[in-house]
Structure 1
Amino acid sequence: MSSPDSELAIYECSTCGELRLSDGEARCCDGPMDTIETTVPTELPDVEEIMHDVFDISPTELEVCRQVMAAGETTIGELTETIDRDQSVVNRHLNHLVDLGVVAKTSRVLPEGGRVNVYSPRSEEAVRRQLKLGLYAWCLDAIELLEEVNEEKIAMMAESADNDESGSGRSMVDRLLARGDTS
């Protein structure tokens, strides 16, 4: 396992052109891959974008998470007062944060009888690991999606060459996007 301080780099196989992310030497085609610098222009994401896009955490849910971390230990009732949201909304957000593994939920017996759920932040290391694991899983899904698009693009290019004489009027990009739209 890599150390928390190791950095990911992009590697390319000089034989087949395969790309990989790795925090150490990557191998392909029975040899080491070369480290490369990306030339693809990208925008740096901010925390809110990552949390929303990768983990489906809304700004309100991020506020709930921050309040749990600041409080150290809290209940739904206390959070409802702090962030001025309906208890059902806070409960839904807390359950999602528990599912993500960034907040722990325990049940405590009250002195006057009954039980209350108490929420507390998980350790920094546990949260970092869960978020990194989730991000890596998301990246794998995104890469798979891009591979599917590339396969469709190749098919569309072959189809486009056949249809050029027919004058379909739709660009290859329009047709590709229409084909991939399953929502």
Structure 2
Amino acid sequence: MDRTDNAHRLVECTDCDALAVGGDEIRCCGSAMTPAGRHANGPGDGSPPASDSDDPPGPDLDDLLRVVFGMSPAELDVCLCVMEDGTLTVAELTERVGYDRSVVARHLNHLAALGVVEKRRQILDRGGDAYVYSPKSPGTVRRRFRESFLQWAAGAADRIDDLSREKVEAIAEAGSATEWTVFREP
């Protein structure tokens, strides 16, 4: 089987209901975890089979970069420019992407903090020095984005776990209009 066929599949443990994401065999409670989700083996609760239209939509790249990494479309432009053009100064990048110098500098500092570009001070031929920004290898960029995403996803899973079963059931069963008025528009 091609690695891309199962590189990012959701699996579950049939013994403890643990969930994981992975491509290779993942084991839990002494056995291999099985594909999870409503389409894996059909619903076990007697409900009708789910259709693909019942699945939540996957994120598009802009949403993923904005939510997980705090990147705007402008920051993606800056990132791609560094990746394509190699080592550049803020001034050179400003000319190429057409954004304000302070915007470019802020985006570059964020990209350096994410670990996808390298920031270093370089002596200029005409005297003085300037920060230059160099792309990390595509493999390093993918790894840094994946690590950051998985850390974000782990934190998101913790937030979901914070919802107690009672709260979720109360929300689901809230039939009266008076119980949940905080989120209603005037």
TM-score > 0.5, shorter chain as reference: yes
- Tell me how far apart the structure 1 counterparts of residues 113 and 169 of structure 2 sit (CA, whole Å): 42
| 2:57 maps to 1:59 | no
Tell whether the 8 Å contact from 1:8 to 1:24 is kept in structure 2 after alignment: no
Kindly state the Cα deviation for residue 160 of structure 1 after the two structures are TM-superposed. 9.5
Of 5-14 and 106-115, deviating more is: 5-14
Could you tell me which of 169, 174, 178 is aligned with 2:178? 169
| 1:9 maps to 2:6 | no
Give the TM-score, by structure 2 length. 0.76
Describe how 1:71-82 pairs up with structure 2 within 5 A: 71-82=85-96
Deviations 1:140-172 (A, max 9, x none): 1111111112x1x424647999x99xx78215x
Distance 1:158 1:10 in 2: 28
Secondary structure of the structure 1 residue equivalent to 2:88: coil
Matches of 1:121 and 1:134, distance apart in 2: 18
Structure 1 Cα separation of the partners of residues 138 and 172 of structure 2: 52
Choose from 153, 159, 166 the match for 1:154.
166
| Alignment match, 1:48 | 62
How many residues align? The count is 167
1:3-31 deviation per Cα after TM superposition (whole angstroms, max 9, x unaligned): x8671322222223222223322223333
| TM-score normalised per structure 1 | 0.77
Query: Unmatched 5+ residue regions in structure 2?
Result: 40-53
Cα distance 1:168–1:41, how it changes in 2: closer, same or farther (>3 A)? closer
Local SS of the residue matching 1:116: strand
**Unaligned 5+ runs, structure 1:** 179-183
Is the 1:72–1:120 Cα contact (8 Å) retained in structure 2? yes
Aligned identity (percent) is 34
**TM-aligned CA deviation for residue 33 of structure 1:** 2.2
